[in-house]
Amino acid sequence: MMIPVRCFTCGNVVGEHWDEFKARAREGDEDPGEVLDDLGVDRHCCRRMMVSHTDLVDVVSPYQ
């Protein structure tokens, strides 16, 4: 629904970087891997949190 605050595996705070990652890699046309390197999200456990995430607020909000 919303990006998890922390990485499930290591506990690093990944939510912090979501807005920039979304703007540059999802809506922009930069390479997601390079953006994550740039943001300092190094470990693959934290990287999968960002790469595999989908925002669902827009999907569920009509059913309130």
Partner 1 sequence: MSEADFDVQYIERDDRSARVLIRGLSPAFANGIRRAMIADVPTFSIDTVRFVENSSVMFDEMLGLRLGLVPLTTPIDDFEIGDEVTLALDVAGPGTAYSGDLVSSEPLVEPADKNVPLIELKEGQRVELEADAVLDTGKEHAKHQGGVSVGYRHLQRVTVEGDLGEFDEEETRILRGVIETEDGEIVPTEAFDHDLSERYPGKEVSVEDVPGAFVFHVETDGSVDVEELIVRAIGTIEERADELRTTIAV
Task: Give the relative orientation of helices 44-51 and 32-39 as an angle to the nearest 10 degrees.
Answer: 130
- Say if residue 15 carries a ligand binding annotation: no
- Say if residue 28 carries a ligand binding annotation: no
* Shortest separation between residue 10's beta carbon and partner 1, angstroms: 5
Site for partner 1 in 6-25 (CB under 8 A): 6, 10-13, 15-19
Q: Which of 56, 59, 23 is nearest to 38 (CA)?
A: 23
Is residue 64 at the binding interface for partner 1, with CB under 8 A as the rule? yes
Alpha-carbon gap, residue 63 to 9, rounded angstroms: 32
Binding residues for Zn(2+): 7, 10, 45-46
